[in-house]
Structure 1
């Protein structure tokens, strides 16, 4: 005859497994909540109507388990599970995690501000902008140094800094950049 295992610990709501429910049907969420909350070692701490809300709800770190509907609007449960998994792994490595939709929104906002003329100030110093203008106009390092009354070595150092800041490789890219941002006329 088999005996049932003994219950060694008593679960309180504080030690219970914290669950996130994500389903686009409120009735399903309500039913699952009733079933799960009836268990002494389980408690539903958050609900979400779609995958994006599930990610937001799990971001606080108060969730031990996520129960996700696979077919939800805006973002499926599978997509949400992937994003939650990435966020957890990033947190475990003490790395920041940016939800891809948030990154996209930030990029759109930046591009809109850039288009409307509200972009942040240039990453270049005024001296670096002067050097870019002269490079774009075809001046060589020696001529730039004479024009600005600085050494050729300083011009070369400025140019290296500019290339690094802008992620560029050569004079041609600098010239295209100078035209694009209006430092020189084409």
Structure 2
């Protein structure tokens, strides 16, 4: 009898202890083989080219290239590879952003081992998978919308470009530096910045940074020292 093909997985998390624990857990499952490890998004993209995994398990908050940016690049360049987010962020806006980027699963780090393994198997088979608490939150929100009630959580009104500008500004980059990074004019950056402040009802820079941290857009430790 031909042996069952194992699911090839790449694990990406910038915390070594967490990553090593996940790798050990998956390798013991019997049906999953970890073919690579990475600590940031750039390393993930390099590994995918070399290892051709079935599934990538990725953290949201990482240095160099975060989970959202990495997923967007990965889905664009390697559409056959499935992505599961493994994170501590239980935030509706961030879940929506990741779904738009093309993830197939969203699993919380507080989940039990069996849930993570089931998620990988389901996603490898072409299905979607969400942690139980995430599924309940999404269902509750759907029911409220169906009943004509307002959701408890605000829906993001930012465009993709405004989101990029918000992230860079919150990380401490000047308007000119943001313009250089995004290849747009400084006037365009100023326009986006004003729109962001208006849409989110933010009064000053401190409020903008606080919003970005609360929504999981940036990590405190990754904020530029010049802030």
- TM class by smaller structure: 0.3 to 0.5
**TM-score, structure 2 length as denominator?**
0.33
**TM-score, structure 1 length as denominator?**
0.40
> Greater CA radius of gyration, 1 or 2?
1
